[in-house]
């Protein structure tokens, strides 16, 4: 028996070089770990596939959740808002006054408003209380009832005009031209604004 022969092997095995038998642990634990990992992968793939099938048959595109779809719509209103009853331009009498140092503005503005269907009353320079004291494009003066009638209609002709009520008992309205006035709104723009003013509010698409 060689001195390199491991004890207890009875001379059955003899080591003649630099290669000798090694004692290895059983492979049972490694197989269990690999089998567990494979099972997790299979279960994950099966779950993902199930979600895709559910999404396809439910009409979804896979990128939106139920909560996201609910935010795309708004509750339907109980009823469509009816438009307010505004007077037509032919039913409004406008007094045109010039509060600027530029001469001729009252007449040219009154002539243009007449072409657009408004009735024209007085035309001239602004009263002393407003002469050269209107910094904006214009000031509308009228009875309190004009705030929901003549004022909105006349504003479609002059963007940026402010409004103020007084104690008059008549239905006529004053248009006092201010220092920032350049010209009335273009007729096409004013006509579109008039249509939008009398157009009913659109209904909101209901949620499903």
Structure tokens at 71: 């935010």
- Return d(Cα 176, Cα 98) in angstroms, integer: 6
**Cα gap 162→142, rounded to integer Å:** 12
pLDDT average, residue stretch 76-100: 81
- Residue pair 93/123 in contact by the 8 Å Cβ criterion: no
- Which residues, in sequence order, are CB contacts of 166 under 8 Å at separation 6+? 141, 142, 143
User: pTM to 2 decimals?
Assistant: 0.59
What does the alpha-carbon distance between residue 17 and residue 7 come to, in Å, rounded to a whole number? 17
Residues 125-170: tens digit of each pLDDT:
999 999 999 999 999 999 999 999 999 999 999 999 999 999 999 9
């Amino acid at each position: 028996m060689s001195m390199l022969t491991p004890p207890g092997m009875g001379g059955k095995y003899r080591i003649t070089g630099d290669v000798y038998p090694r004692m290895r642990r059983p492979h049972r634990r490694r197989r269990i770990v690999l089998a567990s990992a494979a099972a997790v992968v299979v279960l994950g793939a099966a779950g993902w596939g199930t979600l895709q099938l559910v999404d396809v048959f439910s009409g979804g595109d896979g990128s939106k959740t139920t909560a996201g779809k609910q935010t795309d719509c708004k509750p339907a209103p109980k009823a469509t808002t009816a438009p307010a009853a505004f007077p037509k331009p032919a039913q409004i009498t406008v007094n045109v006054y010039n509060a600027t140092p530029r001469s001729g503005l009252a007449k040219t503005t009154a002539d243009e408003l007449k072409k657009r269907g408004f009735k024209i009353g007085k035309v001239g320079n602004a009263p002393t209380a407003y002469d050269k004291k209107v910094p904006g494009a214009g000031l509308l003066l009228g009875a309190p009832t004009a705030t929901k009638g003549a004022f909105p209609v006349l504003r479609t002709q002059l963007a940026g005009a402010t409004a103020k009520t007084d104690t008059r008992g008549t239905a006529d309205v004053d248009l006092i031209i201010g220092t920032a006035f350049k010209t009335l709104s273009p007729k096409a723009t004013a006509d579109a604004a008039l249509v939008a003013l009398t157009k009913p509010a659109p209904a909101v698409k209901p949620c499903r």
